[in-house]
Amino acid sequence: MASGARLHQWSHRNRVGCASAVSAVVRVGGWGLIVLLIAIFPANIHMALRPELYTDASPMELWLRLPLQFVLIAWAFWYTRTQRDTHMLLAQQSDEDILKIANPIMDNLMEGSTEIDHAKHIRDFTGRMKHIVTKEHLEKVCRRYQAEWGYFSKREFVAVFRRPSSVAIVWKQWCTKHEGEFVAELVLVEQDSRYLVDHAMVF
C-alpha cells in the first residue's frame, strides 16, 4: 500500500511538472516572438522609406507591414497571458480561485433545479452527466425533494478535495422546509478548455 501511494504521488508530481513545463515553454516562445518583432521593426521602417531598394513588394505592402507588427505583438502578448491562465491545472489552484469557478456553476445548477429547467440545469455538465440527467429524471427528482425539503437556500463552504484530474467542492447546504444541514457536493473537471460538472449531489 505504501509503495502504491508513493507511486501515485510520483505520477501526480510528474504530470503537474510536465504541464507546468509545457506552459513555461509556450510563454517563453511568446516573449521571444515579441522581442523578435520589436527587433526587426526598424528594418521594416527602413524598407518602407526606401521602397526602390525592395522591388519584391509594393510600397503599400511595405507600409502595411508596420501596423501589422503591432497587431502581431499584441497577439503574442495576449497568448502568453492566456497560456499562463489556462494551462494551470485546476487542482493546483487555491481554494479561493476554485470557488470563483465553482460558485457560479453551482448557483446556476441549483437555480435550474429550483425552476426545473433542464437546459439551464445541465448547462455545465460533461457529456457523461448529460446522458444520466435526462429531462424526465430531473423533473422527478426535483419535485420529490421540493416537496420534502423545499428549495435550496444558503450554503457554506467546507472544503476542496483535489485529484490530478478533478476537484471536489463540498458545502453545508440549507433548505427552506427542512431543519438541519445537508451536504452539497460538486466535482469539476477540465474538458476542451472548460470547467465542467462530472458529479453533483445534495444529501
Does the pLDDT at position 41 exceed 60?
Answer: yes
Q: How far apart are CA 167 and CA 187, in angstroms?
A: 6
- Give the predicted TM-score (pTM) of the model: 0.58
Instruction: Tell me the pLDDT tens digit for each residue of 181-192.
Output: 999 999 999 888
Claim to verify: residue 12 and residue 78 sit in the same structural domain:
yes
Claim to verify: residue 70 and residue 168 sit in the same structural domain:
no
- The mean per-residue pLDDT over the stretch 39-53 comes to 88
- The mean per-residue pLDDT over the stretch 82-100 comes to 74
Instruction: Tell me the pLDDT tens digit for each residue of 118-167.
Output: 999 999 999 999 999 999 999 999 999 999 999 999 999 999 999 888 99
Cα separation values, 69 from 47, 81, 93, 107, Å: 14, 19, 35, 43
Claim to verify: residue 162 and residue 178 sit in the same structural domain:
yes
When pLDDT is cut at 50, 70 and 90, the band that residue 30 belongs to is confident
Q: How large a percentage of the chain has pLDDT more than 90?
A: 49
For residue 144, what are the domain limits?
Answer: 91-202
Claim to verify: residue 75 and residue 105 sit in the same structural domain:
no
Claim to verify: residue 143 and residue 194 sit in the same structural domain:
yes
Claim to verify: residue 22 and residue 65 sit in the same structural domain:
yes
Claim to verify: residue 103 and residue 34 sit in the same structural domain:
no
- The amino acid at 162: R
Q: How far apart are CA 134 and CA 122, in angstroms?
A: 9
**b/e code 64-99 from CB counts within 10 Å (16+ = b):** ebeeeeeeebeebeebbeebeeebebbbebeeeebb
